[in-house]
Amino acid sequence: MPDASRQPEPFTLSTDPAALEDLRARLRATRWPDAPADAGWSLGTDLDYLRELVAYWADGFDWPAQEAALARFPHFRATLGGLGIHFVHARAAAPAGTALPLVLSHGWPDSFWRYAKVLPLLTDPGAHGADPADAFDVVVPDMPGYGYSDHPAGAPLDSVAVAGLWAELMDVLGYRAFGAAGGDIGSHVSRYLALDHPDRVVAVHRTDAGVPVLPEDPGQLTDEERAWFDGVAGWGAAEGAYAAMHRTKPQTAAFGLTDSPAGLAAWIVEKLRAWSDCDGDVERVYTKDEILTNVTLYWLTGTIGSSMRMYAANGALPRAQLTRRVEVPSGFSLFPGDIARPPRAWLDRTANVAYVNEPARGGHFAAFEEPELYAEELRTFFRPFRSRG
């Protein structure tokens, strides 16, 4: 039964109209940088595209309508580890007690927003042409310093600490056993849930294997693994400047990104484009309203700085944590447009692999890009483990 002394309280999404007026005024007063002719996206966010997006944000985007759409989910807050944690708790349409509890962990640069499209498919598969027996009770928390959760007042929390909070949250909600899934930093958190709470996590699903750490004896790597390590290093050299900033000097970037909504949009939309399966056209995957809903959540909650600081916390994790092998049954869905897709040999080296699949479409934000495919991946993977939930 849920812990009566720590019952979550319903949470209402609401925005002061003055905050929206301030946002629009800042957008209209944007001081634009110059850009080399025909630079496009080669040096970062394309100037022409961002001008178009910002103009729509200032005079066309309807945040109250988007906020109302997000508010259709059941939102709550609970105090965990001294922090107020916001989460969505969407119960299955199936009869009570028959669904598998599932905690979904988001990454950066997003929040519970990542799972907004897929939630109905997971809680009510029967209404979407799938087997009602595959329903989940879904819990989607905002990590500390993201979305509507509190910012840690002191040192940022790392993925190990957040995994501990999620285990506590599932206990508060009355879920003794549950599944865990996530991508990006959420993959990291899900991994530590499985590592530190193997008696409770029945299985763990991830869309990546995280940033690889060389084994103490690199000679044991296969040729395929070596090629993957080289590819990851090459990606870091070409695309990893943001992560280096987040790990080392996040507070410096936070000043500009917290003050300038155009700067914030540039920082986020460039990643949505680069990491999604969109062939360079970000609006092939996301509408302007979807992009700006994610960015506006960051703006209104003032969480860009606190979200980036989690990289610094994770960068300080000891090697012994990063090299632990997951023994809980693990599934991997490797979407073609994601950043770095690990070879099977690496997955087997680092986890007790029960499932690997390569869906036809989707990228780093697969749950939002391809919700139907992502939902089917979760249904298929967790099906054999439902009796343990």
Q: Which two tokens stand for residue 26?
A: 């800042």
Measure the CA–CA gap between 216 and 59, rounded to whole angstroms. 56
Measure the CA–CA gap between 108 and 156, rounded to whole angstroms. 15
Cβ–Cβ under 8 Å, residues 87 and 175: no
Of 110, 56, 74, 71, which is closest to residue 268 (Cα–Cα)? 110
Catalytic residue among 205, 311, 338, 374: 311
Of 242, 261, 256, 254, which is closest to residue 304 (Cα–Cα)? 254
Beta-sheet strand order (sheet of 201-206)? 9-10, 75-80, 83-90, 136-141, 100-105, 178-182, 201-206, 326-333, 351-357
Q: 182 φ, ψ to 5°?
A: 175, 175
Q: How many helices (H) and strands (E) does the chain have?
A: 16, 9
Catalytic residue among 89, 205, 246, 364: 364
184 carries an active-site annotation: yes
Of 73, 151, 150, which is closest to residue 112 (Cα–Cα)? 73
246 carries an active-site annotation: no
Of 59, 58, 66, 86, which is closest to residue 265 (Cα–Cα)? 58
Based on the number of CB atoms within 10 Å of its own CB, is 267 exposed (0-12), middle (13-18) or buried (19 or more)? buried
34 carries an active-site annotation: no
Catalytic residue among 137, 142, 150, 184: 184
Which residues are designated catalytic?
184, 311, 364
